[in-house]
Amino acid sequence: MNEPAIVIAGQICVDIVMNFPDGSTDLSSLIQPGRCVVVEDSTITSGGAVSNTGLVLARMGVPVRLVGKIGGDAIGSSLLSILENGNPGLSDHLIVAKGMTTSYAIVLNPPGIDRSFLYVPGPNHRFSPAEVTDKHLEGARYFHLGYPTEMQLFYQDHGDLCLEMFQRVKEHGLTTSVDMALPDIYSESGRFDWRTWLQRMMPQVDMFLPSLDEITFMLRPKIFSSSNDIEKLDKQIIMEMASEAIEMGAALVLTKLGERGLYLQTSRDSARLRQMGKGQPYDLEAWRDVQLWCPSFKVNVKGTTGAGDSSVAGFLAAMTKGLGPEQALETAAAAGAASCEQADASSGVPSWEALRERITMGWERNS
């Protein structure tokens, strides 16, 4: 493959998406001992931040290099085949751990509501930041890390190995970004002190790209635990959390708000923007001190799996092409919306040209 514009490292798995028939919105009544539930169909596809974001970027014509760890089993072989289908060489840099079961997730996808997961971590918990080598970084402008919450060695020991990795990536001059995943609150990751982790990492992270529930879980845990509907959180709180991440050291924060769209906030410090490295915006002044809200696009939702990853891919693709903040934000929203038009994570997102044309032709927004 050509030299990558973006290296994507982190969590990768196989998704088995179970699509429930219309009217099946109460999972607690469906999943009961001894009951056989007939689903409409299932989709077996690659999943996780590395695959989801990587495949969408590749479809948009952005050269990517994927770095993650899988098992040397039948599930892993299937994952390699899925990635290589139409993208020869895309799996070349994945690490195969013989004797381990490849990570997989059973995705429960009822119509009209967000999905739930049954997840087997597998080699993701044994993937080390030290396995992201200098060779992986060669020729790239951006480095994107997906789901440190799902990989033990990225947060254990207060994230020492992860911090060392980011420092090394920045020494190569790459622009860095991080996307999170909401951990199981009863797991080791769910009990971890993520605020302190962010305080350590943000000076090395140029672009922080969490969902609203993830950033609330990490920076406002009392609100997270007491709220019945995080997606309706007041805008002022959303802005305050983005400001806090920027004060910790990030250059920009893109918060994914689900049906509400996206919120982008950037540093007012021009010097911090100049520290973004090889992928810094062409027009730094246009990106300084930005506070932008972007509504979502209207779609017929077939599944929300990977919508956040697709939004991240749209945003990163826009950055590689030198777009300004408004266009980058709407591209991110459009990619996330298009992803929801299919049950799997990435196949609903079209080429860069087709996506931008759909936007310019007046794609209807949600209010």
Q: How far apart are CA 84 and CA 79, in angstroms?
A: 9
Which pairs with CB-CB distance under 8 Å and at least 24 residues apart come from 34-43?
Answer: 42/16, 42/17, 42/18, 43/15, 43/16, 43/17, 43/19, 43/343, 43/344
- The length of the chain, given as a count of residues: 367
Q: How far apart are CA 131 and CA 174, in angstroms?
A: 17
Q: Cα separation of 303 and 281, whole Å?
A: 33
Question: In 10 A of CB 200, how many CB atoms?
Answer: 17
Per the rule left: phi > 0, alpha: psi between -120 and 50, beta: everything else, 96 is: beta
Mean pLDDT per block of 10 residues along the chain (367 residues) reads 86 88 66 78 87 96 97 95 91 95 88 77 96 97 98 96 98 98 93 98 98 97 90 94 98 96 97 96 95 96 89 98 97 97 88 97 93
Look at residue 181 and give its three-state secondary structure: coil
Number of C-beta neighbours around residue 280 at 10 A: 16
Side-chain-side CA neighbours of 103 within 13 Å: the count stands at 26
Question: What is the 8-class DSSP label of residue 211?
Answer: B
The two counts, helices (H) then strands (E), for the chain are 14, 14
The token duo for 20 is 């429930």
The amino acid sitting at 117 is: F
The angle, 0 to 180 degrees and rounded to 10, between the axes of the packed helices 212-219 and 235-248 is 70
Phi, psi of 262 (to 5 degrees): -140, 155
d(CA 152, CA 46): 21
- What integer pLDDT is reported at residue 113 of this predicted model? 67
Q: Give the C-alpha separation, 262 to 267, whole Å.
A: 17
Closest CA to 321 of 363, 355, 270: 355
Domain ranges of the chain: 6-11+49-66+129-360
- Reading phi first (left if > 0) and then psi (alpha if -120 to 50, else beta), residue 154 is in alpha
For domain 6-11+49-66+129-360, give the CATH number.
3.40.1190.20
The angle, 0 to 180 degrees and rounded to 10, between the axes of the packed helices 160-171 and 194-201 is 20
What pLDDT, on the 0 to 100 scale, is given for residue 27? 66
Q: How many CB atoms lie within 10 A of CB 133?
A: 11
Distance CA 26, CA 110 (A): 8
CB 251 within 8 A of CB 236: no
Query: Distance between CA atoms of 53 and 209, rounded to whole angstroms?
Result: 12
Sheet (strand 116-120) strand order? 41-47, 13-19, 104-109, 116-120
* Rounded Cα–Cα distance for residues 76 and 45 (Å): 11
> What single letter denotes the amino acid at residue 177?
S
For the record, the structure tokens of 30 come out as 């469906």
